[in-house]
Structure 1
């Protein structure tokens, strides 16, 4: 990762011509102006409280995972026909689907160049965890496109792959340089589920989120988000929500009606209770592992449902 004359981070191939990269990866440069959550970066530094690897290795791993996250977000925007990403038009709306998709896919191989040079065992870790990410994303798309509501258990499995794949990638790459032997997989599973459900809640019930991504954008995508799954599984005889999802509506009035249904069915309250339970489970697991003030601080930030930065 190198700074450009615009003082923005940029990704270059280790083997390709930089001038060509500047042309082909322009959609990535554009995407990088979108203010990110930086959750993975914060997690890496927090996990290093236990793992204690060198700062240069933490930076290298952070760069790799950040590259992959940005690439996946660009692909996710294409798959969801998104319009905005935190208040800014998505890359494929500006550069087109073909160029944006090519740039995003290129990043996977640019990241792989760095993975190969990072550690002899890093490539296997990379392949295992990124396959989980795409399997999780794939199931979410499968449910959406086939109008199949998953069970809560299936949703949880999806989230632990889609988000947990990135979290496990961070930990497993860091562990290649650490003597730390505790198993962090349970904590990662809890955190990944928490992040995914929190994101779903915010899309349908968070003012700051909807202002930056579009009002209840998940309804326009036809996404079976966590509150939707609860509403449909606990009220199977009411078909209004499933038909609203089927329409991929952009009508504000229809979205407001769907929100009222979610409130009526107690789906927001249930989602909040699940988030509170996951927060407690994460804190208990952190305590069991010996305590980690950096992870506790991150949980404190995430606990506020108005915190979307």
Structure 2
């Protein structure tokens, strides 16, 4: 929780007016103050076991990633018509869509300004990975708005673009300051897919995960999450789930009906099995790269959520 009335100075533009920035970035400040852990920061520290870059560079990259992450949360909540974020009203319910959207995009450009000053080629990395992230997010929205259920293969490609875009940005920015030469792309893609599928599963399945959100809010969004994709593509003669999804309902009983169908079709069991395979693949790749106790610790923590059983 932020303990000052002012936002972290790092969020201010190098070329802007600080007092103006305080006003412009109020929605960002609001979301920063909400409780929550950022796995992205843990990943940066974990990958540094191999990359071994200086603490000041790690801090600068951490702050850039956190800025991007919070900006994307503001935009995601608008795109998804969300109600809650970490148990509190979403920023655009407090500040309005216009101010929240402007704050998010402004912060992304402030982040770009920081990236330009980080390293001569860092802006190329930033552009590449932000394009991938938005490609992933955009296709997810396209499927939702046109009620097109992707294949599992297409889902995985887009999930890697969306979540892997952020993870790749962390690793590739760090590698600009490292002599480490091993290719980490397979591990990053595996982790990105694992995190996205796990997030999808948790949203629909775990009570503890959803206690600070609306119940199964991915259903209210109409999102083709991984369990939904499995259920629809393996049961083409059943139209109940896709029709529920079309409604983007907030009705609890309708959502519970959908969850029962996902259980009936074996979609949660299938998702758990996929997650276990991805966990094993990530561990095998970490071992191939020489081992990394910090990444293993992250995987161990993620693996022992109550909803696994």
TM range (shorter): over 0.9
Deviations 1:153-212 (A, max 9, x none): 000011100000011101111110000000000000000000000000010001112111
In the alignment, the residues of structure 2 paired with residue 303 and residue 186 of structure 1 have an alpha-carbon distance, to the nearest angstrom, of 20
Q: What is aligned with 2:145?
A: 145
Contact 2:6 2:22 in 1 (8 A): no
Contact 1:231 1:267 in 2 (8 A): yes
**Pair 1:89 & 2:86 matched:** no
The list of structure 1 runs, each at least 4 consecutive aligned residues, that deviate by more than 4 angstroms after superposition, is none
5+ unaligned residues in a row in structure 2: which ranges? none
**Pair 1:244 & 2:244 matched:** yes
Contact 1:149 1:232 in 2 (8 A): yes
In the alignment, the residues of structure 1 paired with residue 8 and residue 274 of structure 2 have an alpha-carbon distance, to the nearest angstrom, of 37
Contact 1:187 1:282 in 2 (8 A): yes
Q: What is aligned with 2:231?
A: 231
In the alignment, the residues of structure 2 paired with residue 306 and residue 70 of structure 1 have an alpha-carbon distance, to the nearest angstrom, of 27
In the alignment, the residues of structure 2 paired with residue 89 and residue 184 of structure 1 have an alpha-carbon distance, to the nearest angstrom, of 38
Q: What is aligned with 1:169?
A: 169
Q: What is aligned with 1:268?
A: 268
Q: What is aligned with 1:56?
A: 56
The Cα shift of 1:13 comes to 1.0
Contact 2:164 2:189 in 1 (8 A): yes
The Cα shift of 1:91 comes to 0.2
Aligned residue pair count:
305
In the alignment, the residues of structure 2 paired with residue 295 and residue 264 of structure 1 have an alpha-carbon distance, to the nearest angstrom, of 35
In the alignment, the residues of structure 1 paired with residue 50 and residue 56 of structure 2 have an alpha-carbon distance, to the nearest angstrom, of 16
Contact 1:202 1:305 in 2 (8 A): no
Contact 1:198 1:305 in 2 (8 A): no
Q: What is aligned with 1:5?
A: 4
The Cα shift of 1:8 comes to 6.1
In the alignment, the residues of structure 2 paired with residue 298 and residue 204 of structure 1 have an alpha-carbon distance, to the nearest angstrom, of 22
Q: What is aligned with 1:32?
A: 32
Q: Please give the secondary structure, in 2, of the residue aligned with 1:213.
A: coil
Contact 2:7 2:22 in 1 (8 A): no
Give the TM-score, by structure 1 length: 0.97
In the alignment, the residues of structure 1 paired with residue 189 and residue 86 of structure 2 have an alpha-carbon distance, to the nearest angstrom, of 26
In the alignment, the residues of structure 1 paired with residue 245 and residue 163 of structure 2 have an alpha-carbon distance, to the nearest angstrom, of 23
Contact 1:40 1:65 in 2 (8 A): yes
Give the TM-score, by structure 2 length: 0.97
The Cα shift of 1:87 comes to 0.5
Within a 5 Å distance, the mapping from 1:187-206 to structure 2 comes to 187-206=187-206
In the alignment, the residues of structure 2 paired with residue 275 and residue 88 of structure 1 have an alpha-carbon distance, to the nearest angstrom, of 29
Q: Please give the secondary structure, in 1, of the residue aligned with 2:33.
A: coil
Q: What is aligned with 1:221?
A: 221
Q: What is aligned with 1:106?
A: 106
